[in-house]
Each structure stands twice: as C-alpha cells, then as structure tokens.
Structure 1
Amino acid sequence: MQWTGQVYADCPTVSAHTYIEAPPERVWALVSDIRLMPRLSSELREVEWLDGATAAECGTRFVGRNAHPAYGSWETTSTVMECEAPRRFCWAVGDPGHPAGRWRFTLTPEGSGTVLEQWAQMGPGPSGLTYAIEAMPDKEQKIVFVRLREFEAGMLANLAAIKTLAEDGD
C-alpha cells in the first residue's frame, strides 16, 4: 500500500485478493460464516448473531468483540447489507445509514477456481479511530495510513487462511 495522504472524511478504502483453487460455493461457505472469522483475525476475538439469526441474510445483525494493542478492546454491532450467495457478502459496522466502516467479500469464478477479494472502507461514521484523530489532528493522514496498512495486512492473512481451508477441504 502506498501513501495516499487521505483523511478519514475521504472514506478511504483498501482491498486485497487471491486466487483459490476451489469453486465459489466452497469459498462462500467460509466467508459467509462469521463464526470462522475470529480464528483468522488478529483483532476480532468473538462474534455472535443477534435477534435469533443463525446465518447471513440481508438485514441480519451480529456483534463483534475486538482487541488491539493501541486501541484497547471494543464491541461493535454490524448489519449484513448484501448477501448474494456465492458472489458477495457485505456488512456495515455501526449505524447502517452512517457506518463506522464497511467490509465486503467478493467472489468471482475464474477457471476451475475463485478470485476472492476482501475490501474495507473507513467511515463515514465515527469509529475508534476518530478518537485517535481528535487527540492528534496533525497526524490524521499518518493515523489513517497506518490503520489502512493494518487492514491490508489482516486481509492478506485472512485470504491466505481461507485459501488453505478451501483448497484443503477443511
């Protein structure tokens, strides 16, 4: 990821992708299972469906509990915004109309496998990063850049783990 000089109000995005030698349906079963994600993430510690939901559908909500050495521990409620099996799974963190962020997996068939992309957007709603920026407004661009790099590193690790699970059939 290269320096962009973006600020939080720009709603900066980051993405990563990989090719997986497995059909989209196999990959979909992994990326749409929110209970798998804490096993893959260095920040997400646990998740649970809310309101009696048991699987991803548009409008379902889940809570995520996170921890980061610099930001401490926090909890968010996310709403599934898109759930088009086996192509697209997207959720908004916080208020769906003004989210703290959006996350998405996109699956594209290619040959005998799948190209899997993970994408994230910061903002436009306030998040934990907002407080760091308010405390050090002169460092906003650097704070945003460092956080985007952390997102990217996490995505690359997620994609590698999903690739292994999908290709090994575990």
Structure 2
Amino acid sequence: MPNTLETTVDISAAPERVWAVVSDLKRMPEFSPNTVRMVPLGTLGPGTWTVNLNRDGRRYYPTTSRIVRFEPNRTFAFRMNENATVWSFTLEPTESGTRLTERRDVPNGVRKPIRLLIDKFLGGEQQFESNLVHGMNETLGKIKTAAERS
C-alpha cells in the first residue's frame, strides 16, 4: 500500500516570495529532479489542467494533473490523473519567514495497472517512494535557495 510522503523546509523569505517561486509551475523542472516539464493549460486556479513529463532515473513517463486546491500565498494541490495521488505545497508563516511543506497523499490507493508499472519499470513501490522522498527534499532545497535569493 502506498504511503503518504511529506517533507518540510524553513525558508528565510516571506510567504509571498515563496509563493511566487513555488506557484510558477513552468519552473518546476528547475527544482524537481523528477519533473522534466510541467505545462499548465490556462491560468492557474482550481480546475486548471497540466501536462507533465517526469522521470525516474533514466526512465521517462508522461502524466497529466488537475489543480484541486489553490489559495495564493497559502497552498495549492494537484491530483495526478493516472494514479489519483494528490501532491501539495503548503506555506505557513514563521517568525523568520515561511515553512514550506511538500506532500504526496494517496487517498484511494493506487490503481492496479499503475502499481504493476511501478513494480515492473520503476523498481517497486519501496524504491519508487524512496526516490520520490529524495526528490522532494531536493525540490524544497532548491525552492528555498531560489526564494531566499530573489
């Protein structure tokens, strides 16, 4: 059974500055080692679709998603259409800036065909999730650097 995955980083920048970085989905390949391209189809907001190209090591795979939560300077989340996982970024103001949390939820489990693909081509669920957590930590570190620099 897939696990909820979550990573957090404290950033020395105001939530508005962090939001400007994290909500620019076209920049996601700059931050995420698993994202090659993320293209929103229209203005960002609830219901906006994205077309994505992802990778796991040398393996590439396309996905699509739909934004399911969008509250500027606070949170946004998108649901992956292929496996129904929900990825979110949540910003919390702190005394020194912003706490940013990236999370992957699996509210209804992963459908059997996707689980078979993960097992056959992506090293199995445990390895796949380990790679995702590593990527999430790398993503948050790069977002931190970009937000503190701007």
**Same fold judged by TM-score > 0.5?**
yes
Give the corresponding residue for 2:116.
130
Partner of 1:3: none
Q: How does 1:60-71 map to 2 (within 5 A)?
A: 60-69=48-57
Q: What TM-score comes out, normalization by structure 1 length?
A: 0.78
> Which residue does 2:4 correspond to in 1?
13
In our comparison, the structure showing a higher alpha carbon Rg is: 1
- Correspondence for 1:58 among 46, 57, 64: 46
- 1:168 positional shift: 1.0
Matched ranges for 1:84-163 at <5 A:
84-94=71-81, 99-122=83-106, 124-126=109-111, 128-133=114-119, 143-163=124-144
| Maintained 8 Å contact 1:58/1:81 | yes
Equivalent residues, number:
147
Task: Return closer, same or farther for 1:166/1:144 CA change in 2, 3 Å cut-off.
Answer: same
Distance apart, 1:121 and its partner CA: 2.5
* Matched residue SS, 1:19: strand
Report the counterpart of residue 33 of structure 2 in structure 1: 42
Q: 1:164 aligns with which of 131, 145, 150?
A: 145
**Identity in percent:** 31
Q: CA deviation at 1:39?
A: 1.2
Match of 2:61 among 49, 63, 74: 74
- Aligned counterpart, 2:15: 24
Task: State the 1:46 CA deviation.
Answer: 1.1
Q: Which runs of 5+ in 2 are unaligned?
A: none
Unaligned 5+ residue runs, structure 1?
Answer: 1-6, 137-141
Residues 1-55 of structure 1 deviation map (CA, whole Å, 9 limit, x = unaligned)? xxxxxx24xxx111110100101011011111111111112221112122xx03x
* CA–CA separation in structure 2 for the residues paired with 1:109 and 1:62: 28
How many Å apart are 1:67 and its aligned residue?
Answer: 2.3
Quick check: 2:33–2:139 contact (8 Å CA) kept in 1?
no
What is the CA-CA distance between 1:73 and the residue it aligns to?
2.1
Q: Secondary structure at the match of 2:126?
A: helix
> What is the aligned-residue RMSD (CA, Å)?
2.1
